[in-house]
């Protein structure tokens, strides 16, 4: 090779490495499927808008919001928060078990997370029935409109999350379908549902 050819040859350094090579070398990997992250981020933006509107309305009607807030049962809200946190813990452990090749353990942990989600729904339905029994509905005032809307939309997300965990369970039970990325995607969605509930609990039940 001549000096000219050596000069024109592309240098083999980090500048010529593909993003995939750099990602593999650095060990950085986004868990789950990219499409799930797009869905999660879009959902968080929508809920973020709900939260901003809630805070604006709360500022303009602070007396109504504070008075109405007294009728919520903080203990029930706290119990549901602990249920959701426990569920996320089970799901996170399921991801770790799946990555380690312990598919039976991952299956059991996914079921535990699923059951916690069912408990959350039952508690929320009970809470709604108590509030409605006391005469508080969507039409009562703006606070209860936001209360039922935010917790209702969140409950729909919990139901969807249970469907996703059911799909994860099915894949873990079938050796030909097992994919760590699917388990990670299910966990990503479930953790988002958990995080949204924590924000709702703080804004609706605790903020004074």
Distance CA 200, CA 148 (A): 11
Structure confidence at residue 207 as a pLDDT band (50, 70, 90): confident
Distance CA 140, CA 120 (A): 25
Domain range annotation of the chain: 33-206
The torsion angles phi and psi of 111, rounded to 5 degrees, stand at -65, -40
pLDDT in tens, 184-202: 999 999 999 999 999 999 9
pLDDT in tens, 97-155: 998 999 999 999 999 999 999 999 999 999 999 999 999 999 999 999 999 999 999 99
Confidence at residue 16, expressed as pLDDT on a 0 to 100 scale: 34
Confidence at residue 196, expressed as pLDDT on a 0 to 100 scale: 96
CATH number of 33-206: 1.20.120.80
Distance CA 134, CA 157 (A): 26
Structure confidence at residue 10 as a pLDDT band (50, 70, 90): very low
CA-nearest of 51, 25, 28 to 149 is 51
Distance CA 180, CA 195 (A): 22
Q: Identify each DSSP E strand in 85-142 by its residue range.
A: none
Q: Is the pLDDT of residue 23 over 60?
A: no
Q: Is 71 exposed, middle or buried (0-12, 13-18, 19+ CB in 10 A)?
A: middle
How far is CA 6 from each of CA 9, 56, 199, rounded to the nearest angstrom? 5, 66, 60
Half-sphere exposure of 145 (CA within 13 A, CB side): 10
Please give the model's pTM, rounded to 2 decimal places.
Answer: 0.82
């Amino acid at each position: 090779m001549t000096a000219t050819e050596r000069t024109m040859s592309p240098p083999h350094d980090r500048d010529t490495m593909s993003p995939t090579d750099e990602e593999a070398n650095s060990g950085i990997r986004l868990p789950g499927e990219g499409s799930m992250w797009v869905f999660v981020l879009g959902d968080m933006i929508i809920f973020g808008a709900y939260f901003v509107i809630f805070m604006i309305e709360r500022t303009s009607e602070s007396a109504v919001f504070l008075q109405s807030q007294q009728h919520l049962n903080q203990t029930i809200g706290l119990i549901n928060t602990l249920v959701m946190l426990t569920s996320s813990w089970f799901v996170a452990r399921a991801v770790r078990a799946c990555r380690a090749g312990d598919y039976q353990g991952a299956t059991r942990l996914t079921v535990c997370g699923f059951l916690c989600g069912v408990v959350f729904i039952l508690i929320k339905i009970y809470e709604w029935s108590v509030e409605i029994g006391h005469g508080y509905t969507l039409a009562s005032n703006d606070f209860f409109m936001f209360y039922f809307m935010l917790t209702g939309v969140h409950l729909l997300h919990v139901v969807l999350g249970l469907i996703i965990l059911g799909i994860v369970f099915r894949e873990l039970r079938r050796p030909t379908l097992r994919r760590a990325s699917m388990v990670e995607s299910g966990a990503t969605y479930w953790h988002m549902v958990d995080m949204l509930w924590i924000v709702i609990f703080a804004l609706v039940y605790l903020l004074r």
